[in-house]
Chain A
């Protein structure tokens, strides 16, 4: 008996606040008799999605794919540049302050500039996502390459490890936890950046679907689209978290 209740209690403990808000939303919409153009209730939004789930699948898959490609591209470039600047003290000195500057400004405001530079295109969305993922990767991996376990560097020197050995056996592995941390933190942002870019430029995907629905005052569809975008972003976070746990288990 208690065995059946335990998971339920667990669920209630975790989701009481979210449930409360959704229920309050439904009651408020029903009680105030709001028109569904202004604000539909959660039941109506769910019904719209359940009525035609396939029409959401294609834009969601596209946005997800674009976000993943941009994320990986941005991370490859950011980590690559961090490694390059690790190997050269001058390059490091030149690039570190720039990296810091770009992480402290609102990078999202660069989306319109990139959109104008590259044209309204799916490739531009990928470029925007990778630009937004580039800076966290550069900064976190750079910090990881420099934060070696105390004494380990001396040990490698004493035993005459070459610079190359030091890099592949010590420096690179010690940056992996930081790399995965940055990956987990940036993965949901990648989806949100893709959605904003699609919204602004009107290129295919969830962002465009949202813009079209909102423009046609189809508020149910617009809200269902943002629900799907939220789920996509959370799924991206979940995947990154699983990847992080897996990598850390192997490395440490």
Chain B
């Protein structure tokens, strides 16, 4: 008797394999036209030694933007959430500001940022704005999850507002923050890539858009594949962290 868990694991593995086979078959028989290369062609292109420096440079630039944007966005979003938690009257205004900034299309922000900062600073800033939004929303709701009885206890013992925030509200917000860590991974990548579509001097986004315009199909798919796999790996890592935090905090 196989457990339900390992059964769904095997089925999932089969599903992914079928997807990869379909990708290969559609490519080989050109079912979707000339612009759909088989998986093997893309992988062969990716592992060509001559192409490695190209991908290495582009990936290094993009991943630096992602890391920078992710860190600044995470801490910025958290700091803003704590401020709006500590000083209640500013909260409605900050909520609106964050929502409005989030609603501005990133393609509209990018040219502004190129003027205000520089072309190379644009990808991390867009990435950071997206990540900061997720962290702000998750943290403001997470900071309000502490139970009323705990809050009463802190009040009876004469804790200051700051110490209630640091010792009660922040720890009880950890599960929400862990979810935000996971959910903001693809957002961080999207921000960096879109930022690079506007005149960055290097990066995977630049590679993707120039390959699209110049009909370099294997290059296009390879650059997208690198981005997707990197995002997936980071997402998987943070899913694990989220699970650990949720088990610890239960």
Interface residue ranges, A against B (CB under 8 Å): 13-18, 21, 38-39, 90, 93-98, 101, 103-110, 112-113, 115-117, 188, 191-192, 195-196, 199-200, 207, 210, 214, 219, 222-223, 225-227, 229-230, 233-234, 237
Contact = CB atoms under 8 A, between A and B. Distances in A.
Which of A16, A110, A210, A219 has the most B CB atoms < 10 Å from its CB?
A16
Contacts of A227: 108
Contacts of A195: 105, 107-108
B96 interface: yes
B220 interface: yes
A200 B228 CA distance: 20
B193 A93 contact: no
B97 A104 contact: no
Nearest to B197: A200
B92 A18 contact: no
Interface residues of B, number: 59
Interface in B1-59: 7-8, 10-16, 18-19, 32-33, 35-36
B115 to A, nearest CB: 5
Contact of A104 (B96, B193, B231): B231
Q: What 7 pairs between A and B have smallest CB-CB spacing? A: A226-B108, A93-B11, A94-B15, A97-B12, A17-B97, A112-B212, A104-B235
Nearest to B102: A188
A14 B231 CA distance: 36
Contacts of B221: 113
A188 B228 contact: no
B11 A38 contact: no
B194 interface: yes
B103 A13 contact: no
B144 interface: no
B19 A98 contact: yes
Contact of B104 (A38, A96, A97, A230): A230
A193 B6 CA distance: 37
Given A16-B93, A104-B232, A109-B193, 11 more contacts: A14-B92, A90-B11, A94-B14, A98-B19, A105-B232, A106-B190, A108-B194, A117-B35, A196-B105, A222-B108, A226-B107
B103 A106 contact: no
B156 interface: no
Contact of B32 (A14, A117, A225): A117
B127 to A, nearest CB: 10
B112 interface: yes
29 contacts: A13-B93, A15-B93, A16-B93, A17-B94, A17-B96, A17-B97, A18-B93, A93-B8, A94-B15, A94-B18, A95-B15, A96-B8, A97-B13, A97-B16, A98-B15, A104-B232, A105-B235, A108-B194, A113-B35, A113-B220, A113-B221, A116-B35, A116-B217, A117-B33, A117-B36, A192-B105, A200-B209, A222-B111, A230-B100
B2 to A, nearest CB: 12
Interface of B: 7-8, 10-16, 18-19, 32-33, 35-36, 89-90, 92-97, 100, 103-109, 111-112, 115-116, 185-187, 189-190, 193-194, 197, 205, 208-209, 211-212, 215, 217, 220-221, 224, 227-228, 231-232, 235-236
Which of B32, B103, B228 has the most A CB atoms < 10 Å from its CB?
B103
Contact of B103 (A38, A104, A234): A234
Interface of B, helix, strand, loop or mixed by DSSP = helix
A112 B93 contact: no
B177 to A, nearest CB: 18
Contact of A97 (B15, B96, B103): B15
Contacts of B10: 93
B11 A106 contact: no
A119 B87 CA distance: 52
A241 to B, nearest CB: 12
Contacts of A108: 190, 193-194
Contacts of B209: 112, 200
Contact of B228 (A105, A219, A230): A105
Contacts of A210: 107-108
B16 A101 contact: yes
Contacts of B90: 17
A108 B224 CA distance: 10
A188 B130 CA distance: 14
Contacts of B7: 93
B96 A14 contact: yes
Contact of A214 (B100, B111, B190, B235): B111
B232 A101 contact: yes
